[in-house]
Structure 1
């Protein structure tokens, strides 16, 4: 029998002690993580608000960056309907006895910002992964201030196109970062309202534009579309930059970077110290980050591998569907109302009413999504819009009369409002929850890029269908968008999972287990499971 030397015996004993200490540390770490996750499960919505009041505030601030994209998207859409803008840059149309912007420039102006944003979202992913949500957003806000100058001094359609293209770059950063940041700083029960605030601020931007253009639409000179409407964009970037400079970084991003003390400090800034344990919250985040751990830096290639491919396809699909299920009618509401036979003043008034109703219905959707989930609201909401879009097409097919025009305007308004009551706000929840924590900035960027890639040809198609110098279909475009919305509904039925009330750990595990989308809601994941 071999004998053990005293030194060897001591080394063996020390190693055993270290192993036990390590096991004890791991056990305590997991217990803390489980405790934090259980605490979030047991919170009601109001308890979560009381425990994390500053998280709600900072989610509100980050979401308000979306006002700038919304404002400019609706502004350029409304400029096309402005008589002063059309008479300055358009051509005379004998059929309507009005000046109109020719189809190619109408489409180009509306897609320029989206083209810039497409570039911006691809820049946002790597930039945010490297420097964080806070600094990446600050870069976008500074860039936004600079690019507004180009649009302010634009005096031709090509210059307006370039201005929109440049402004799109920071839009891409905002739209990629906002849903990810909002979902990471709030507890489980607040993920739906925190991300759906984005849709509310989209409506806020359109309300501001609607009010400004409604006031100025009767002016015959360039002040109807220049100076004040454009200069108002400068109201947003500087105050938001000051607030974002003071904002805490996402604790999830800090944990991914191994900066655990800073992550704990960030958690304390987001919530009430008396109602939460920052150490346990960080342990919960570390547990999820460890599940997704990889030696390689996050890259777009990873989005196309393994279970992450399925997650990427869901995010890209839900983003693409926003353009295919009635959204373009909402974005071109004023122009649509004009083509439906309304006077210019009535069209702008209806556009403003539509935006106000959208804001109200987005807030009502918080209740639906929080208590009834994502999947059923998306399916029922999209299904309703399909019926309304077909009804819009029928109303436009029965002949020209005041009643037919009013019916088209009514169905167009209902489609625009219904979209922001169900499908649109639910989409933000799905986008934020589906992506893996480690790859979230890249996934949201890729998803939004898909949105723009689909939107750009859809803008050309939508403009062609509505423009008197193009297809001149008017409300008959409802048949086209109804068909594309039906495709979205069928795809969502088979592919969209229900993630209401699920922690990021559970979502990770279910995707790795390849659970079918329709079985997500009934699947039970044990609190001790790590995969």
Structure 2
């Protein structure tokens, strides 16, 4: 059977899997860039997982006879650790979005974040009381917050449009992989007595830093960034490193495509120059709605329970009476990982909106059932609660967990992408801090002691999310960035993106009129064709 010939100068969504087969090198670099996401998944679970170890409870806790170990880490200390991680992540994301990404580039941002992370890990290893451990978690989170945000920017700028959703799913997949590794290792170290049962988990975080810094010298700078900075020769060399030198047609087409996107981005930026800084423009006109849509899934992930599961599921299982809680958490993360991998395909076959809206509704209903079961006291109710946790994990990873990051990177205007990703990261950090901070107070025996009734809390938060997702989540599958700009500029209903663009393509072809920003531009989505001069028609 003859292989399909790909015309790289055109965007061909129907050949997405043939395109993926030719993008092995890009996939490898995308996986490297997502190490920050893996660090986030691993680190955010550290405190909650370590809290389940008797030796950790004895070191940082207070006497509490009703606990099997005789010790309990008070809710205010657990909240402090969680808050420090979220606050550090927010600080790191502010630093990277406002200063580092545009000043030193995507590549060098990774080195800065890696060094900061190493300092924070060392502080946690050296900690003999909870305050130094808190300070270490704060510094560590600043570092991985810096690295974490680089990934969606680098991938979103440089991946082929046919596979944008697929590659952006890697972020959440890496978070889940980090959680999975943590659960597997903690299961093994749970058989060890003494401080090494938990210190091994903390020390192993250095492995992520080592991987970052060893590969960093070879990591290609974003070609999009280099073209934007007026360094086309270096951009071409970066493309050689990303795709290899075997397919010259691919390299020429990608160089032309990225140049076109940069020129389009600069035209929009020039037209909006009178509107203030790029950060300010994120909250003006149609960009305000786009920023809200980008940030909404990040907030929704936390409000529907991600921060709780990410940080406290192992400890929570021990509190509700699950005896083999380490084993159950390992199985849970295996299922989450498999579900997330399935979403890599589903996001391109099913679509973004088609996964997000039913997904948030399903999650809300599952949490409601879990809360009801928490009011009952029987072995049968406990089994239903465990089933609800597993169903939640599957639904989350198939929908908002995987798709949330993709939609956030797609809906932003190209010149504002790094700033909007900063807003998304900060939103996730703020809501993650909120949920992570109150979670110990909700579930700890010395505080709320809600048990599975915590499901009522997250189900209640899920109701407004269901409404917002229904009206605000667009379907961006197969749309170019220019078409997305056109739809938002013309105030198209988010529920009708696909229908509107199909009618437009059938009627006008690839000519897009973007009112008030850039008008009369001919976008043919053929990367090999140069971009004509864009006239400034800003109002």
Please say whether Structure 1 and Structure 2 have the same fold, judged by a TM-score greater than 0.5: yes
In 1, distance between residues paired with 2:480 and 2:233? 23
In structure 1, the gaps of 5 or more residues are 1-34
User: 1:397, CA displacement in angstroms?
Assistant: 1.0
Does the CA contact (< 8 Å) of 2:266 and 2:415 recur in 1? no
Does the CA contact (< 8 Å) of 1:84 and 1:219 recur in 2? no
User: Is residue 2:359 matched to residue 1:386?
Assistant: no
In 1, distance between residues paired with 2:238 and 2:299? 34
User: Is residue 2:501 matched to residue 1:527?
Assistant: no
Q: 1:416 aligns with which of 393, 412, 416?
A: 393
Q: Which residue of 2 aligns with 1:495?
A: 472
Does the CA contact (< 8 Å) of 1:312 and 1:443 recur in 2? yes
Does the CA contact (< 8 Å) of 1:354 and 1:413 recur in 2? yes
User: Is residue 2:207 matched to residue 1:235?
Assistant: yes
Where do residues 81-480 of structure 1 align in structure 2 (5 Å cutoff)?
Answer: 81-96=52-67, 98-125=70-97, 126-226=99-199, 228-271=200-243, 272-276=246-250, 277-278=252-253, 279-294=255-270, 295=273, 299-331=278-310, 332-343=312-323, 346-398=324-376, 400-480=377-457
In 1, distance between residues paired with 2:278 and 2:269? 13
In structure 2, the gaps of 5 or more residues are 1-5, 519-539
TM-score norm. by structure 1 comes to 0.88
The alignment yields a C-alpha RMSD, in angstroms, of 2.1
In 2, distance between residues paired with 1:68 and 1:55? 21
Q: Which residue of 2 aligns with 1:79?
A: 50
In 1, distance between residues paired with 2:398 and 2:40? 20
TM-score norm. by structure 2 comes to 0.87
User: 1:472, CA displacement in angstroms?
Assistant: 0.6
User: 1:42, CA displacement in angstroms?
Assistant: 5.2
SS of residue in 1 equivalent to 2:176: helix
In 1, distance between residues paired with 2:398 and 2:316? 20
Number of positions where the alignment pairs a residue of Structure 1 with one of Structure 2: 493
In 2, distance between residues paired with 1:435 and 1:138? 26
User: 1:262, CA displacement in angstroms?
Assistant: 2.8
User: 1:91, CA displacement in angstroms?
Assistant: 2.3
Distance 1:83 1:417, change over 3 A: farther
Distance 1:319 1:42, change over 3 A: closer
Does the CA contact (< 8 Å) of 1:495 and 1:517 recur in 2? yes
User: Is residue 2:35 matched to residue 1:56?
Assistant: no
Over residues 173-202 of structure 1, what are the superposed CA-to-partner deviations in whole Å (9 max), with x where a residue is unaligned? 122211121122210121112111111211
